[in-house]
Structure 1
């Protein structure tokens, strides 16, 4: 008799397709976690370049739309492009300084010319950069994941205090109370709820915190009333791109930083989701960064990278499906087209975001510590591993302790070193190669 057919193999959690309602709610949770960071870049750039309010609104819409498009490219993927992990794409903060300098000299057309050229170079360099994956053993990846979490915590702290540390009411009792009420609510939801509701504990905490803020009179919906209903992003809205060698070189350096940071985020997600990163997957992910950055220059947006704050949400929610983040990409595209909706999301008070962010970013650091728990620290080689961890964290945390520490160095060096994640990652990679791999081979 013929043997019965084998039961169908369940898909990996990363590839699992959830019911549409769950995709929408989980996706919205990811959008709320990254929204403040996504809109911060156009806000800073517009202020530095003296753009009008109408131009600022346009930049925000273009950025959100392209964030969504870039996220779809990264999560869904096609023909050798896209890491196909639950990765949210957003504008890298490493590009802010160079974009301001380029914009002051040549305007936005020069900025977008440099962005397009740097994206093209990243697309071409991705397969070669991906060969570096062998320099990311657990001692390095655990150190980087821990560093990512610790580096993000000050962002959550600033949100928790009210958003602007220079404000006279920063750290006001009402802000702190709202922040830690949200913090406690997320903890409560994650402890007592089960299944789907436990997975959206962060979203429930943000909604509850926002309702509490409204009751305390800390919810401002003025931006929603002022926003328009529809805004369509058109290519080259600020003029045809201009390509100048100096601007292209500085933006290409930014994309080197992006590739290092994205690699760290991809490795972290591979650890969290149970789908370890391969050189082929890394190459696809970096190609997606390059393609998304090229599209950013065409669609009046910016260079794009994986957003580390959403790594924390994957760790906290334990929802690993990339289709959830693809749904978040669709939501971002809709928000980019409908300013009233994006203004509604932006109305969530900073202390509410801070309360949830403290937990999310702490979870990233905890994930790094779990990876480091598998590392040998007792043998002779293990003691060298301890040096790698210590040096990675020490160098990576310098910009947090003293933001102006590297200001006397050349601009190109500041671009690399001011990103603590990049500086720490490079330190860990180099030291492990020299001290551990070099000693082993010697």
Structure 2
């Protein structure tokens, strides 16, 4: 049932002309269960990465991070159902798995750092993030019908630069996990060794693994690394025994949302980028499944992004987008039914209702995640490079200028954290986030320099 070879996509998915009706077919239950689980395994590590990153950065307890993980998985399930099954005017009704966008990490960490610097606790930061996510979701709903006009401001030179900045910015987080960010400053050699063991294991699986095994490389690396660390007495899973087997993370568990202008606007930037990325992924899915894309269908899919982000905010989670790795899985398996992804969504909901599992995931040591983080965050940067590979950098020198200046602006908060310390508090989320600085710079320079070409 699962593909166990690295054969090219075309012989599997494109040997015959795609049948648009295959999208609405309902496979046998056994096939639904296996393929739905495969979709979950492909996206699981990425789906829980954002709450783990944010939780560790805020210094939350394992139980609190477990709440974030459960809420995130619950949101993934709900929003995937919204996109695959749909409601009136919302949902693409194609095989798409939805998860938290990595583009949101940078602004959320900037919001958190700004609030912590102001003397607020982690709960206050989560409330501000929640408010920003809700505003971004409403904004996404409003701009969905007119995205075609907005998308012209986000050509590949802009989106590629911004995604590259996101990846490079996040690599520092992975390194922080390895060396013990926020601790005494001394690097534990055993922790660093374990991080690089996980990294080496992931690389080995990516090199020699096939099919499902290769798709689960991150999951395998973290699981084996955690097992080895536990055998060596380097883990603490005591909170798992105190957690309930079944439970539900209620909406707004960390308190009512707080609305701050700077935080909200920075998350709105993320929403625009997410929706522009979604346009490309929606076209990719429509090509694979053979279902023509039109403006009405595109609007339905983008509304699901916006409404899904609102749901994420209400359930203490984050902005949601379609996961590109799952789109690739559709091409590999050749199974185009949207109900396969809907089954994956139900599995995600089931995982979300197990606090014991969520706390177990949250108890994974940071140094184990560090090895995986170098791969995951580096892949984001590589995605930006891949997009920039489509940009004419030699024939159009303006594109070089846009990339050079915007990349430099995005690096400013990384190399000099205190450079904007004297600015007013409402501006701090803007200037502390490399993604926001890079986005503003890239959009503005592209409009100024490439206006005639565009």
Partner SS state of residue 168, structure 1: coil
> How far off is 1:340 after superposition?
0.6
Secondary structure of 1:88 counterpart: strand
Deviation at 1:278, TM superposition (A): 8.7
**Corresponding residue SS for 1:397:** helix
What's the counterpart of residue 28 of structure 1?
41
1:259 is aligned to 2:271: yes
The one of 356, 369, 392 equivalent to 1:353 is 369
Q: 1:398-429 CA distances to partner (integer Å, 9 max, x unpaired)?
A: 22223333333334433333332232122112
Structure 1 residues 399, 77: CA separation in 2 closer, same or farther (over 3 Å shift)?
Answer: farther
> In the TM superposition, what is the alpha-carbon distance from 1:226 to its structure 2 partner?
1.1
Residue in 1 that maps onto 2:145: 127
TM-score, L = length of structure 2: 0.73
The within-5 A match list for 1:170-185 is 171-185=187-201
Shift of 1:384: 1.1
Aligned equivalent of 1:4: none
Residue 37 of structure 1, CA deviation: 2.3
Structure 2 counterpart of 1:340:
356
After TM superposition, give the deviation of residue 39 of structure 1 in Å.
5.0
1:437 matched to which residue of 2?
451
TM-score (ref. length: structure 1): 0.75
Partner SS state of residue 423, structure 2 = coil
The number of equivalent residue pairs is 417
Aligned partner (choices 153, 158, 164) of residue 171 of structure 2: 153
Distance in 2 separating the partners of 1:421 and 1:238: 26
Do the aligned residues in 2 keep the contact of 1:206 with 1:353 (CA within 8 Å)? yes
1:168 to 168, 171, 184: 184
Deviations 1:73-118 (A, max 9, x none): 35665444356654412694545549989x99x9899997886566
Q: Specify which of 62, 70, 79 is matched with residue 70 of structure 1.
A: 79
Rounded to whole Å, the distance in 1 between the matches of 2:132 and 2:388 is 39
Indicate the larger mover: 17-26 or 133-142: 17-26
Aligned residue runs from structure 1 range 15-414, under 5 A: 20-39=33-52, 41=54, 61-74=70-83, 77-82=86-91, 85-89=96-100, 92-93=104-105, 94=107, 96-97=111-112, 119-161=137-179, 164-168=180-184, 171-234=187-250, 247=259, 249=261, 252-263=264-275, 265-266=277-278, 283-284=299-300, 286-296=302-312, 298-299=314-315, 301-306=316-321, 329-379=345-395, 382-414=396-428
Please give the secondary structure, in 2, of the residue aligned with 1:132: helix
Question: Judging changes above 3 Å, is the alpha-carbon distance between structure 1 residues 339 and 157 closer, same or farther for their aligned structure 2 residues?
Answer: same
| Unpaired stretches in structure 2, ≥5 consecutive residues | 1-14
* 1:205 positional shift: 1.8
CA shift at 1:195, angstroms?
2.4
Q: Distance in 2 between matches of 1:109 and 1:437?
A: 40
Distance 1:374 1:126 in 2: 26
The answer to which of 225-234 and 109-118 deviates more is 109-118
Distance change >3 Å, CA 147–CA 21, structure 1 → 2 = same
Matched, 1:427 2:441: yes
CA contact (8 A) 1:141 1:368 kept: yes
1:318-361 superposed Cα distances (whole Å, 9 cap, x missing partner) = 97988887666444433332111111222322222221221222
Partner SS for 1:214:
helix
Are the equivalent residues in 2 in contact too, given 1:315–1:367 (CA < 8 A)?
no
